[in-house]
C-alpha cells in the first residue's frame, strides 16, 4: 500500500511567523494558490481513501485538491499550549529553557501542551490505524501538518526522538510518500513541493544566506536496472528510456554553477544531457562512484541469494554491514567515501549550486548516514529513482536534507 501525506497550504499564522499548533488559523491567499498548484499536479490521481486533520487549514487544502476528506482529529498538529499564536522571538525570549530542552529532544511539554513523546505516540497510532484499514494494493492520502509529517518520518525511519532529524522543514503543500510492505513501512520521497518550483522556499533562503546547495542526481535507466542486476561499478550505457529521462531532467531543472559526475558511463551520459542545456562544464570525481559490489557485480538478486546464501544472511538478515560480494564495499564505507567527496566539493565551491550525478546505492548510503540510521535503517529508506533529485544544504557545521527523491519530470 502507498500513503501520501500532504502538508496544508500556508496559513495566516505561517505567513505571520507565529507558533502554530492546534490553533485553527485559516489558509492565506498564498496558501490557496499553493493548494491550487498541487491540485493541478495531482489531477487524475486516484486515492482509495482521503483523510484530513480536522483543523480548517488542512480540510480546506484537501477540498481545494478536489476531495471530500474523512475528518480525523488524531492527525492534528502538536498541541503547543501557551505558545500558540505567539511570535517565535517572544517564545524564545520568555521560555528559553523549555525551547532549548525541546531542541535537545528532551521529553518536555511545549507551552504546557503535548510532549514530543505524547505527540509521536498519537501520530504513530494514527498511522497504524490507517494501515489496518487499507488493502495491500490501496493508495491513501492524509492532509495534515508539518509536525505530523516530521513525526511520522521519524517513526518510519526508526530515528531517535529529536527536534533535529537531519531533514529540513516541510514546505506548505509538499508531498511525502510512504510505502508499506510486509516487512514494514518505508520512506519513498520527502518534502516534494516541486509544483511550487524546483527549490522550496526554505532551501532557496538558506542558499541565498550563503549555504552551499548540493543537487544529488541518480543517473538514467540502464539495462541492468531493467534486468534487476546489481550493477555497482560495472559500466554500462543508458537505455533509450534512460536518455529520455535525462533529457526530461535537463528540461525541468534550473541552473547549476558547476556539475560533477561519477566516472561511469551511465552517469556521464546523464550529466552530458544536463550540461548541454544548462551550459556548464562537466568534471569527473571518483569519490561519487557507485558502491563496489565485489563478486556480486552484474548478478541478479536470486542468483546472489542462492550462490551467496551465507553472506546474504549475514548482511540482510543478521544486519552485519559487511563488504558486498566479499571484496566490495560496505554501506558504511560507501557513505564515508561519499561524505568526503561531497564535503570536498562543497568546500571547493562554497555558496554555489553544485550538481553531482551519482548512483542509487551511493546516494542512499550517504543519506542513511546523515540520518544516523546507517545500515540498520536500509530497509526503511527507498533507493532514489532514475534521474531523481535530492537536495542537501551544506553550512559550516551541518548537512541538511532539504528533500529526497523528487522527480516531477517523470510524472
Residue-wise pLDDT tens digits, 194-233: 999 999 999 999 999 999 999 999 999 999 999 999 999 9
* Average pLDDT score over residue span 108-122: 92
Q: What is the pLDDT of residue 295?
A: 98
Active site residue 77: yes
pLDDT at 108 over 70: yes
pLDDT at 99 over 90: no
Q: What is the pLDDT of residue 160?
A: 75
The domains located in the chain, with CATH, are: 2-192 (3.40.50.1240), 203-410 (3.40.50.1240)
Question: Grid cell 505530523 — which residue?
Answer: 148
Which of these ranges, 96-105, 306-315, 343-352, 371-380, has the smallest mean pLDDT?
Answer: 96-105
Q: What is the pLDDT of residue 199?
A: 96
C-alpha cell at position 287: 569519490
- Return all residues near 266 (Cβ < 8 A) that are at least 6 apart: 219, 220, 222, 231, 235, 236, 237, 238, 242
Mean pLDDT value across the chain:
96
Q: Which residue has the higher pLDDT, 92 or 295?
A: 295
Torsion angle of the four alpha carbons 312, 316, 318, 319, in this order, in degrees rounded to the nearest 10: 130
Distance CA 214, CA 65 (A): 32
Question: Grid cell 563478486 — which residue?
Answer: 295
pLDDT digits (tens, 9 = 90+) for 234-249: 999 999 999 999 999 9
Please count the residues of the chain: 411
Q: What is the pLDDT of residue 162?
A: 66
Distance CA 312, CA 310 (A): 5
* Average pLDDT score over residue span 137-150: 98
Q: Which of the four pLDDT bands, split at 50, 70 and 90, describes residue 106?
A: confident
- Return all residues near 309 (Cβ < 8 A) that are at least 6 apart: none
Question: Grid cell 532529524 — which residue?
Answer: 165
Q: What is the pLDDT of residue 105?
A: 76
pLDDT at 94 over 90: no
**Number of H-type helices and E-type strands within the chain:** 15, 12
The answer to whether the CB of 28 falls within 8 A of the CB of 100 is no
Q: What is the pLDDT of residue 164?
A: 65
Active site residue 60: no
Q: Which of the four pLDDT bands, split at 50, 70 and 90, describes residue 48?
A: very high
- Return all residues near 209 (Cβ < 8 A) that are at least 6 apart: none
* Average pLDDT score over residue span 55-76: 98
Write out the H or E segment, with its range, that includes residue 366.
Answer: helix 360-370
Alpha helices in 158-294 (DSSP H): 201-208, 223-227, 240-252, 265-278
CB half-sphere exposure, 124, CA atoms < 13 A: 13
| DSSP output for 114-129 | -BHHHHHHHHHHHHHH
pLDDT digits (tens, 9 = 90+) for 315-357: 999 999 999 999 999 999 999 999 999 999 999 999 999 999 9
Q: What is the pLDDT of residue 163?
A: 60
Q: Per the residue annotation, which of 60, 77, 207, 391 is the catalytic one? A: 77
Tally of CB atoms within 10 A around 85? 14
Q: What percent of the chain has pLDDT over 90?
A: 91
Beta-bridged to residue 167, according to DSSP, are: 401
Q: Taking phi first (over 0 means left), then psi (-120 to 50 degrees means alpha), and beta for anything else, what does residue 322 get?
A: beta
The answer to whether the CB of 376 falls within 8 A of the CB of 348 is no
Q: What is the pLDDT of residue 88?
A: 87
Q: Per the residue annotation, which of 8, 60, 177, 359 is the catalytic one? A: 8
Amino acid at each position: 500500500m502507498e500513503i501520501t501525506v500532504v502538508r496544508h497550504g500556508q496559513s495566516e499564522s505561517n505567513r505571520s511567523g507565529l507558533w502554530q499548533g492546534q490553533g485553527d488559523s485559516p489558509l492565506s491567499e498564498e496558501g490557496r494558490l499553493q493548494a491550487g498548484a498541487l491540485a493541478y499536479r495531482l489531477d487524475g490521481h486516484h486515492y482509495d481513501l482521503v483523510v484530513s486533520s480536522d483543523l480548517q487549514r488542512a480540510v480546506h487544502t484537501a477540498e481545494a485538491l478536489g476531495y471530500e476528506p474523512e475528518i480525523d482529529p488524531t492527525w492534528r498538529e502538536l498541541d503547543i499550549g501557551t505558545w500558540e499564536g505567539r511570535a517565535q522571538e517572544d517564545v524564545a525570549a520568555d521560555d528559553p529553557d523549555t525551547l532549548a530542552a525541546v531542541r535537545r529532544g528532551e521529553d518536555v511539554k511545549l507551552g504546557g501542551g503535548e510532549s514530543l513523546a505524547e505527540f509521536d505516540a498519537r501520530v504513530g497510532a494514527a498511522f497504524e490505524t490507517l494501515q489496518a484499514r487499507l488493502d495491500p494494493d490501496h493508495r491513501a492520502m492524509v492532509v495534515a501538518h508539518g509536525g505530523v509529517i516530521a513525526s511520522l518520518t521519524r517513526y518510519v525511519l526508526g530515528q531517535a526522538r529529536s527536534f533535529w532529524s537531519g531533514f529540513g522543514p516541510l514546505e506548505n503543500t509538499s508531498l511525502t510518500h510512504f510505502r508499506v510492505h510486509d516487512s514494514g513501512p518505508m520512506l519513498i520521497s520527502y518534502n516534494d513541493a516541486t509544483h511550487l518550483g524546483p527549490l522550496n522556499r526554505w532551501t532557496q533562503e538558506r542558499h541565498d544566506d550563503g549555504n552551499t546547495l548540493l543537487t544529488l542526481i541518480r543517473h538514467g535507466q540502464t539495462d541492468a536496472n531493467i534486468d534487476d542486476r546489481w550493477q555497482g561499478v560495472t559500466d554500462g550505457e543508458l537505455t533509450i528510456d534512460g536518455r529520455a529521462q535525462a533529457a526530461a531532467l535537463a528540461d525541468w531543472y534550473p541552473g547549476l554553477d558547476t556539475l560533477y559526475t561519477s566516472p561511469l558511463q551511465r552517469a556521464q551520459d546523464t550529466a552530458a544531457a544536463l550540461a548541454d542545456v544548462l551550459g556548464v562544464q562537466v568534471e569527473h570525481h571518483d569519490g561519487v562512484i557507485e558502491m563496489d559490489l565485489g563478486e556480486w557485480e552484474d548478478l541478479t538478486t536470486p542468483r546472489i541469494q542462492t550462490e551467496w546464501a551465507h553472506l546474504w544472511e549475514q548482511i540482510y538478515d543478521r544486519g552485519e554491514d559487511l563488504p558486498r560480494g566479499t571484496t566490495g564495499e560496505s554501506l558504511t564505507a560507501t557513505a564515508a567515501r561519499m561524505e568526503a567527496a561531497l564535503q570536498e566539493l562543497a568546500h571547493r565551491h562554497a555558496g554555489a549550486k553544485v550538481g553531482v550525478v551519482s548512483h542509487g546505492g551511493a546516494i542512499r548510503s550517504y543519506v542513511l548516514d546523515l540520518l544516523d540510521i546507517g545500515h540498520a535503517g536500509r530497509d526503511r529508506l527507498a533507493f532514489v529513482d532514475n534521474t531523481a533529485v535530492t537536495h542537501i544544504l551544506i553550512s559550516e557545521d551541518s548537512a541538511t536534507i532539504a528533500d529526497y527523491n523528487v522527480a516531477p519530470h517523470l510524472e
